[in-house]
Amino acid sequence: METSSESVLEKAAREACLNEVRYHLCSQGTLAALMRSFGIHNPDVLRASTAFAGGGVRRGHMCGALSGALMFVGLLVGRDDLEMRDQAVRGLGYCDRIYRAFEERFGSVLCRSIQKDLYGREYELTRQEEREEMHALMEKMGFACPQVCGEAARIAAQVALEILESGHPLANSIARLPR
């Protein structure tokens, strides 16, 4: 039987993968899966993640799945106002762990590099026909952008569980994990 932590990890990964398949915009799909898995509903944060899809406005820079994962952990432990330097530094430490784990898993954090590894070439995601071509190829592959979203969500969920288990003050404000 799965522990509640394993079930949260699996739920976040599975939902992030499905979100990418259904809706695209990797940053939003990954973030939405994480928020839902941890019982957080915040449409403002989800809207804010729009710009990070496809490596930042579809430009192929930092992977949108990673951006969504980082936004989630920032939502959990980032600072509430600019005066909270210690909280910002602590939040960046958690984000760094996600960044490093993602980079180790995929060999890069760059959307274009990950595309090349997955699909054999880079796509110009600002062009509709290139996005459609990549999405069609994605549907035929066993491991593609949806699975990258799932892995990013799994990495972030693991860090989030550690944050909550450490007694972080936020632990009292989000939904309790099923026992």
Distance from C-alpha of 63 to C-alpha of 30, rounded to nearest angstrom: 11
For residue 170, what pLDDT is reported? Answer: 60
Q: Which residue has the higher pLDDT, 82 or 171?
A: 82
Residue type at 171?
A
For residue 177, what pLDDT is reported? Answer: 44
Q: Looking at residues 9-13, what average pLDDT do you find? A: 97
- 1, pLDDT greater than 80: no
Domains in the chain: boundaries: 4-172
Q: What is the mean pLDDT of the chain?
A: 92
Q: How far is CA 44 from CA 31, 32, 41, 62, 120, in A?
A: 12, 11, 9, 22, 36
Distance from C-alpha of 164 to C-alpha of 98, rounded to nearest angstrom: 16
**Token couple for 148:** 């990258």
Q: How far is CA 134 from the centre of its chain?
A: 20
For residue 166, what pLDDT is reported? Answer: 87
Q: How far is CA 132 from the centre of its chain?
A: 22
Q: Which of 71-75, 157-161, 167-171 has the lowest mean pLDDT?
A: 167-171
What are the tens digits of pLDDT across the range 94-151? 999 999 999 999 999 999 999 999 999 999 999 999 999 999 999 999 999 999 999 9
Q: Which of 87, 81, 92, 75 is nearest to 32 (CA)?
A: 75
Kindly report the pTM of this predicted structure.
0.92
Q: Which of 13-22, 56-65, 112-121, 165-174 has the lowest mean pLDDT?
A: 165-174
What are the tens digits of pLDDT across the range 78-92? 998 999 999 899 999
What are the tens digits of pLDDT across the range 54-83? 999 999 999 999 999 999 999 999 998 999
Greatest alpha-carbon pair distance for the chain in Å reads 49
For residue 4, what pLDDT is reported? Answer: 84
